[in-house]
Amino acid sequence: MNTRTKAEELEHNDTSSYRPRSLGDLRLLSGPPLTTGELARMIGMSSTFIREEIRSGHLRAVLLGRGRKRVYRIPLREALRYVNTLGLM
């Protein structure tokens, strides 16, 4: 008998096959845009560093949301350009 709710089952299915994206995945240019945390992990920096790079214009990103919880999303093509500029690929 399964004691999980439908929401718990969906969450389990989504995360059970989850694999963090890597620098090599950027070359595929498929999938959703990156979060600041994902790109930071890929290049060994912090999310704060990535946000500062966006604010300074070194990295382009889309700002989503309103109010207090606004987040950046980085298009894969832009992330690939950025890591190439850094010499990481």
Q: pLDDT tens digit string along 11-40?
A: 555 545 678 899 999 999 999 999 999 999
Per-residue DSSP letters for 27-61? TTT-SSPBPHHHHHHHHT--HHHHHHHHHHTSS--
Mean pLDDT to the nearest integer, 5-16: 53
pLDDT at 19: 83
Whether pLDDT at 89 is above 70: yes
Looking up tokens 């930071």 gives 40
- Those residues with Cβ within 8 angstroms of residue 46's Cβ, 6 or more apart along the chain or in another chain: 40
Taking each helix axis as running N to C, give the angle between helix 36-43 and helix 47-56, from 0 to 180 degrees, rounded to the nearest 10.
Answer: 110
Whether pLDDT at 4 is above 70: no
pLDDT at 18: 74
In tens, the pLDDT along 30-82 reads 999 999 999 999 999 999 999 999 999 999 999 999 888 899 999 999 999 99
> Going from the N-terminus, what domains does the chain have, and what CATH number goes with each?
20-86 (1.10.10)
